[in-house]
Amino acid sequence: MILNFNYTSTLSIYEKQLKRYSRHKIIYIHGKIHDTRYPIIFGYGDETGEDYKKIENLNNSEYLKYAKSTMYLRNQNYKNLVSFIDEDEFQVWVIGMSCGLTDRVMLKQVFEHKNCHSIRIFYHKNWDNYAYIAQNISRHFDNKDIYRRKFVNYQDSKECPQWHPN
């Protein structure tokens, strides 16, 4: 499964390579540009933080209107993600994403899931980018021992291939 956080059709560039896998599914978790069935989802995604609790306690639903947890209810994408991670073991490949706190609840659910056996970062150019992404991912773990155990180390990781249209 490919959990795509990009709203654009960039992933279609790689569609030929993906067809080699007999069973692949793409979930545009934040929607797609110009797609009424899967509209773009913007919003707040760290419903575990203190700031979110303050927003909830204001008792004004307008402030919660664009919380991602509510926006995910617009279609079946989030439910499909949960079904996938509950089904069997998987490895997470991080490609072109910082894994910051804007999607904390979802990323925590995926990374800490008992079926997630490892996390592989495809970094941009060097150790600094790998470390930056790894540090961001660490913020999604309550148990740092599990965090360290799940990671594919830098030496066994690969640089993310870059697409150059020519």
pLDDT digits (tens, 9 = 90+) for 56-84: 999 999 988 888 888 999 999 999 999 99
CB atoms closer than 10 angstroms to residue 128: 10
Radius of gyration in angstroms for the set of CA atoms belonging to the chain, rounded to a whole number: 17
pLDDT of residue 22: 54
Average pLDDT value over all residues in the chain: 89
Name beta bridge partners: 28.
Answer: 4
Share of the chain above pLDDT 70, in %: 92
Distance CA 5, CA 3 (A): 7
Per-residue pLDDT of 31-61, as tens digits, reads 999 998 999 998 878 888 888 899 999 999 9
Residue 143 has pLDDT above 70, yes or no: yes
What's the pTM? 0.88
Tell me the H-state helices in the chain.
15-18, 50-57, 61-64, 68-71, 77-87, 104-111, 127-138, 144-150
pLDDT of residue 25: 82
pLDDT of residue 159: 94
Count of CA atoms in the C-beta half-sphere (13 A) of 27: 16
Average pLDDT over every residue of 125-140: 97
Residue 91 φ/ψ, nearest 5 degrees: -115, 135
Residue 133 has pLDDT above 60, yes or no: yes
Beta pairing, strands 90-95 & 2-4: unpaired
